[in-house]
Structures are given as C-alpha cells and as structure tokens.
Amino acid sequence: MALKTLVFVCFLVAAMALVVPMAEAQFGGLIGNLLGLIRVTGTVFCTADGNMGENGTATPVFPNALVQLQCGGNVVFSATTNGSGIFSILLDPLQFLLPSLLNNCNLAVKTPLSNCNATLPSVGGLFSSLQVLGNTLVGLLNIANIIPTRFRLLP
C-alpha cells in the first residue's frame, strides 16, 4: 500500500472513531429521554451472607468485589464494588425488558468472601434475585431502580 493511501486510511479510521461514539451518545440520549434507563444497584457487605448485619451502621462492606448480572445462566454485565461496597449497573431498557429481567436474572458475587475477611468462606458465592425499589426522575430521564432482594451464600 502506498504511504499516501495508508495515511488516508489511518485518517479515516481516526475520523470514524471520533464520529461513531458521538452519534451513539446522541442516539442513546434520545432513547434514554423517551424510555428511561434501568439501574441495578446495591451494597455488598462483608458478612457470612453478604447482607447488612443486625446493626447496619457497624457492618463492614465488601470493596473490590466482582458482581455479575446473570440472565439464564449467562453473564450479561459485570461491575466491581467501590470502596463503599456499592455496585451500579446501567441497562438499556430496549435490550432488557423489566419483567424478564426480574424473572430471569440474578446477581452473583464472584469474588470469594475470604477476600474481605479471611475468616469467611473462600468457596461458594453470594447470589440474589432482583426486585424493584422504585423510579427516579432525573430531568426527563426515568430511571427504574432495581436492587438485590437478599444475598445468600450458595456453594
């Protein structure tokens, strides 16, 4: 390939890389305004069952835990808990219909509990089904908030 052509191809690729995300962002924004978003969020605690203890304020959280959204056994989304043990997953309602999300999907914490507290199990994982907390209106954007029902430690 002549150098000139190569330079032109590089330029074209670079230009496309710039234009495509902008178009997507605009399109996504438009869809978002019309239909809203689905937000799956929650806190993973560093306890034997991953839930808040009896006295919530004193319960340690589980930071840097890999949380997967699994639907029909397939991983469809992954997130990591932050320093506060909080994870957040945003979904496009065009791809994920709420009723099917609630019926077919669950959350799985893949990082062993022993990572946050060596006395907790190093095998098995936390799982939870999903439930609707409610809706938040952010400007024109309607966000459906989905939270874990309750985590359980499964082998």
Ligand X SMILES: *[C@@H]1O[C@H](CO)[C@@H](O)[C@H](O)[C@H]1NC(C)=O
Binding site for ligand X (CB under 6 A): 46, 48, 54-55, 60, 82-84, 86, 117, 119-120
- Please identify, using beta-carbon distances, which residue of 1 and 54 lies nearer to ligand X: 54
Q: How far is the CB of 44 from ligand X (least distance, A)?
A: 12
Q: How far is the CB of 14 from ligand X (least distance, A)?
A: 33
Closest alpha carbon to 135 in 146, 126, 124: 146
DSSP letter string, 75-100: EEEEEE--TTSEEEEEE-TTTS-HHH
User: Which residue is closest to ligand X by CB?
Assistant: 83
Q: How far is the CB of 116 from ligand X (least distance, A)?
A: 8
- Please identify, using beta-carbon distances, which residue of 66 and 71 lies nearer to ligand X: 66
- Please identify, using beta-carbon distances, which residue of 5 and 55 lies nearer to ligand X: 55
Q: How far is the CB of 113 from ligand X (least distance, A)?
A: 9
- Please identify, using beta-carbon distances, which residue of 31 and 112 lies nearer to ligand X: 112
- Please identify, using beta-carbon distances, which residue of 49 and 104 lies nearer to ligand X: 49
CA 120 from centroid of its chain's CA atoms: 24
Distance CA 47, CA 17 (A): 45
Number of Cα atoms under 13 Å in the Cβ half of residue 28 = 11
Q: How far is the CB of 134 from ligand X (least distance, A)?
A: 17
Q: At residue 124, what is the residue type?
A: G
CA 126 from centroid of its chain's CA atoms: 15
CB proximity list for 94: less than 8 A, separation 6 or greater: 31, 35
